[in-house]
Structure 1
Amino acid sequence: MTHARPPETTARPLTRRAVAKGAAWVTPVLMTGAIAPAVSASAQPGLQGWVDVGKSCNLVSTMTLTIDGTGSYPDRGLWVYNAQPSQLSSAYITFYYPTGLAPISWSANSANSNWSIPAVDASATPISGFTAYTTRYSGTWTYHATGADGPYSTADGQPSFSGRVSGAGTYCRNGVDLYARRTVSVGGTPVMLLRGPVTI
């Protein structure tokens, strides 16, 4: 099985902890648009998380894709720095897989908690040559007063999915590129982070 994490796309320098871990999915992004009223300019919300993506292959006919965000902070999951749970809503992750793989038949693994099964999302910001699959979070958040970069709130549920593709031997041999876009609303203002492409 192959696992990969997308390269960095970040709005501020990496912390030493992130560099030491090589944690490409654990860096912050600054809020897009205006800062939520409850948050000061010196403590902007930072969206972070770590989700493993991978694949296993039957080179003749079948490929299985995996999305695994299970575990604990700061190694897995989704969290927002400098934000209270009451400020957070509309959390989702959109994964972009090559259109040539469609359709991908997704199912939730037993470890999945409060994340919807990824579904084709025609409303997602397009990336040429890729199909968007969005999973949405409906669970609760927990506030932590101290973290690597300050106080933070974690999503209590974590995503875990498997996707089955048939007739995909060529992609298994040559690798599969993908992107992931995380979005969480903080006080009604979206915080976003796009990472990729990564090849698995």
Structure 2
Amino acid sequence: MQTSAVTDLAHTHTRPVHWLATATAMAGILALAGLLQPDPAGATAAPPAPRPAPDAATAHYPLECGGGPSKIAQRATGDLDGDGNPETVAVVHCEAGSGTPPSGIYVLTHGKGAGARTARVVATLVEPSQLKNVSDFAVRDGAVQATLLGYSSPDVPSCCPDQREQVSWRWHGGTFVRTARAEARAV
């Protein structure tokens, strides 16, 4: 008759003391795991500081000045899209020896990339081809406000616009929405 050596070993027979030792070891491991939990996640890091407003002098404007220079006539800054960082809005026109060249109104943000030093045009609110001049220009309460001066016909001299319109633009739904602040009227 052949007997197996495995059946004679003490650890092959479970007894209540074995179950008690296993349960005690497991309880100890669970208790230790509860004590060694990581700190709770939280927003302990300070939010990044807002970036300074983009420098209007570093932007390339989509103006056709016939080889001549452009001029930044006015600029204003403010947070237009609610992200906590200011944008710059610039009124730009071609330099002219005489007369009143039409203006464009451009919204600027920082160039792409963490170290970008130039501003980039992200929206054109008024195209120079609309033949408008800009006065009473400001950024207030997240909106761009301006008075646009224009001409009722090509016969009106460029020195003397005869139409006036107060307008504003506000960021809404991913675009700038233009509204008239007062009824357009002749000057």
**Greater share of helix residues, 1 or 2?**
2
Q: TM-score range by the shorter chain?
A: under 0.3
TM-score (norm 2): 0.26
Relative contact order (alpha carbons < 8 A, sep ≥ 6): 1 or 2 greater? 1
Which is richer in strand? 1
Question: TM-score, length-normalised on structure 1?
Answer: 0.25
Q: Max radius of gyration: which structure?
A: 2
